[in-house]
Amino acid sequence: MTAKPIYQRILLKLSGEALGGTQGFGVDPTRAQDIAQEIADVQKSGVETALVIGGGNIFRGVTASAMKMDRVAADHMGMLATVINALALQDALEKLDVSTRVMSAIQMHQVAEPFIRRRAIRHLEKGRVVIFAAGTGSPYFSTDTAAALRAVEIKAQVIMKATKVDGIYDADPMKVKDATMFQQMTYWDVMSKNLGVMDSTAISLCRENNLPIIVFNLNVPGNISRVVHGEKVGSLVTA
């Protein structure tokens, strides 16, 4: 591992399920603490760190919509789930003496700051971890799109998408044992092959702003730091 990180400012995209631990739902405090420790290590190496967390461990709007719930109501419930996850991770980080701010796209002053771009950048410059919650604040947009949008807004150098597999494959490696992993792909390849890395809106936003995406396995301890320090981990999506 090189002594100096190759990125100055990153956006880490976590799924809600990552906080669910082995049970896969709710918030597992032990798992939250493990993730927080890895983020703290990266932050202390001098990297300005922002996060977007999904809410699938608590409520998934798209699934509820498919079960005849109104899509707008379901998506708003999903956004609130991301706020719960953001507060859980904030608590875990602050137990490690990492200064953290939760910024919500839906105003809720008692629990989180409203998202204001300049204020978010200032927090990062002051060495605080910033957790963006409540998606984009609008229904019909995923947390992947929220991650891409926030990354572009704060001028992050990379989106690091944490998953439960080692990278991007041509088939689901959980189901197909000889699935092939791609070391590097273009944005167009990801969209044309319909690989499900991120939704098309998020990929398009990254492509238009030439923002690279690294997909890696969060379940391997130390991987966040390895990616930040330039090791060949996971799959890279770039122009």
pLDDT digits (tens, 9 = 90+) for 144-192: 999 999 999 999 999 999 999 999 998 888 888 889 999 999 999 999 9
- Domain membership of residue 53 (yes or no) is yes
Phi, psi of 199 (to 5 degrees): -70, 165
* Side-chain-side CA neighbours of residue 192 (13 Å): 5
Domain membership of residue 43 as a residue range: 9-163+196-233
Each residue of 34-69: b (16+ CB within 10 Å) or e?
bbbbbbbbbbeeebbbbbbbbbbbbbbbeebbeeee
| Number of domains into which the chain is organized | 1
- Domain membership of residue 188 (yes or no) is no
- Domain membership of residue 21 (yes or no) is yes
- Domain membership of residue 239 (yes or no) is no
- Domain membership of residue 174 (yes or no) is no
- Domain CATH code at residue 24: 3.40.1160.10
237 and 13 Cβ atoms separated by less than 8 Å: no
pLDDT digits (tens, 9 = 90+) for 185-224: 999 999 998 888 899 999 999 999 999 999 999 999 999 9
pLDDT at 1: 52
- Domain membership of residue 189 (yes or no) is no
pLDDT digits (tens, 9 = 90+) for 21-45: 888 789 999 999 999 999 999 999 9
pLDDT at 177: 86
Residue 66's pLDDT band, with cuts at 50, 70 and 90, is confident
The C-alpha R_g of the chain, in whole angstroms, comes to 17
- Domain membership of residue 15 (yes or no) is yes
- Domain membership of residue 208 (yes or no) is yes
